[in-house]
Chain A
């Protein structure tokens, strides 16, 4: 990745974060914390990694993305809007009656959404099904799915891992957003899912551990996944919940709460400043 490419990704990630704040503020609800923590991964996937076309969102040979942690839809919608699947202005309709942007992703309403999700632990299974079908159809496409670290408390995630390993789904890349927080608090305090990499290794997956806010590490891990044959890959990315908005960072309380008008102004000002700093680089 060249320096200018990285700078561009950083700029886009700032805009994706601003879209998350715009959406949740306008909705007066929604999940900013886990959307912000995954914003860099969303950005890399949709602007560098995945073979997709906003003009042809249903192209059969496209790569697929399943947001298994469906509650962080504001992040997915924001990156889809930035990528041109629908107007950025539409983010302000999030969770409103009549909006295409439902509280959790709906594949039949929102351009670019590949699977309806929201009930945790199910998207990853659907992603495994897509990966299996792609192999049967002889399609050379990849399937990406993003899970929360709280989400892996769902037993179905591990059913899916057994399945993905058994059927050698090396076209499947499972990404875990390890921001360390879930609704009720620290994941280790709620019901401890650590150690996470060891669990995925025990299920036979190729595992990469990265800083989920470092584009070089994201790129290296996704390339490693593509080069891995015979087994699926799990990327465990350490992230900061609420990343980019000072008062939301590492706060479980911002899992599912919208900023009020004052908080909105502050968050947008902070993100605007970050964008200026990137542009000045």
Chain B
């Protein structure tokens, strides 16, 4: 896949906002002094009168977004995942989640691949935090095509949505005609020996791992689970039934994310062994994104090793 075009999903976010902005006058964008990094600056350039910088005040931004949504407009509130889900958690919970307001949270720079900025900015807890809010939809797209489609789906969806995007470029593997649906996973490779369920930038790694395993005679089912909540239960249960073993892969703590969501579902409805690949209850550190991902085992290599050691 080395020759495949790479695009960071935060770029996709900015571009999708512009496309949506052209069609929908009720869409407004908020940012917290990070418009250049979150790529909402792309929207600001074309729609300066619908882009509101809130300054370095994320809690205020989230509650402002709630007020805007209560007036019938559709705000996309943007900052880094650390501040959207972390710092402003309680504003998201009480002012957006509790009244179930139609706010879209565009959280960029999620996960360890933030890179050089280090642990303070490497949010590996956002799925856990956002999943815990009743009625919150949580989406982590895997590539440019899916990210743009997810932004558009979030706009069309009525209710609060948390969208997590990445800082670093990731391979674009979906075709432009890919149909994204909130709450539906996607089977990328078929197989019945084991199922690998991944989200975000780990989807590509899972696909690579799937190909390597096939070369060694192991047929893995590779699933892209872009929507972490609500989880596509039907797809997970089917994979559990037909494959019998599941590996989850996410650029997030193994606590509270996709792995736990899958494990919780299976333990109640169809007990199936699960191995979670993610960040193991530790903070990140500075370094180039690619090296960090390897260090933390967020790689095709580690997926292959995990599967082979298990089967």
Contacts and interface: CB of A to CB of B under 8 A. Distances in A.
Interface string A151-175: 0000010011011001100000000
Contact of A108 (B66, B67, B69, B100): B100
Contacts of B49: 136
Interface string A96-117: 0000000000111000001110
Contacts of A159: 54-55, 57, 59-60
Contacts of B16: none
Interface string B52-73: 1011010110111111111111
A122 B94 contact: yes
Given A136-B50, A137-B73, A163-B54, A126 B67 contact: yes
A132 B64 contact: yes
A163 B57 contact: yes
Contacts of A163: 54-55, 57, 60, 64
Contact of A134 (B64, B71, B75, B98): B71
Interface centre among A125, A128, A131, A136 (most CB of B within 10 A): A125
Given A127-B67, A136-B50, A167-B52, A160 B60 contact: yes
Given A119-B94, A167-B52, A128 B57 contact: no
A250 to B, nearest CB: 30
Which of B62, B67, B95 has the largest count of A CB atoms less than 10 A from its CB?
Answer: B67
A129 B72 contact: no
A195 interface: no
Contact of B67 (A130, A137, A156, A167): A130
Interface in B7-40: 28
Contacts of B99: 106-108, 115-116
A193 interface: no
B50 to A, nearest CB: 7
A134 B49 CA distance: 14
Nearest to A66: B67
Interface string A50-85: 000000000010000010000000000000000000
How would you classify the secondary structure of chain B's contact residues: helix, strand, loop or mixed? helix
Contacts of B62: 125
A156 B66 contact: no
Contacts of A190: none
B55 A129 contact: no
A-side interface mostly: helix
A115 B55 contact: no
Given A116-B94, A125-B64, A128-B67, A136 B57 contact: no
Contact of B98 (A60, A116, A137, A166): A116
Most buried by B among A108, A128, A134, A159: A159
B90 interface: yes
B91 interface: yes
A129 B68 CA distance: 5
Contacts of A66: 67
Nearest to B77: A129
A118 interface: yes
Contact of B91 (A60, A106, A122, A128): A122
B62 to A, nearest CB: 8
A133 interface: yes
Contact of A119 (B54, B60, B90, B100): B90
A213 to B, nearest CB: 29
A129 B67 contact: yes
Interface centre among B57, B71, B98 (most CB of A within 10 A): B71
Contacts of B60: 125, 128, 156, 159-160, 163
Interface in B86-102: 90-91, 94-95, 98-100
Contacts of B90: 119
Contacts of B52: 132, 167
Nearest to B63: A125
Contacts of B71: 129-130, 133-134, 137
Nearest to B62: A125
Interface of A: 60, 66, 106-108, 114-116, 118-119, 121-123, 125-134, 136-137, 156, 159-160, 162-163, 166-167
Given A133-B71, A162-B55, 8 more contacts: A116-B95, A127-B67, A129-B71, A136-B28, A136-B73, A137-B72, A156-B63, A163-B64
14 contacts: A107-B70, A115-B99, A116-B99, A119-B90, A122-B66, A125-B91, A129-B65, A129-B67, A129-B71, A133-B72, A156-B57, A159-B55, A162-B57, A163-B54
* The 8 nearest A-B residue pairs measured at CB: A129-B67, A125-B63, A159-B60, A133-B71, A126-B67, A129-B64, A159-B57, A116-B99
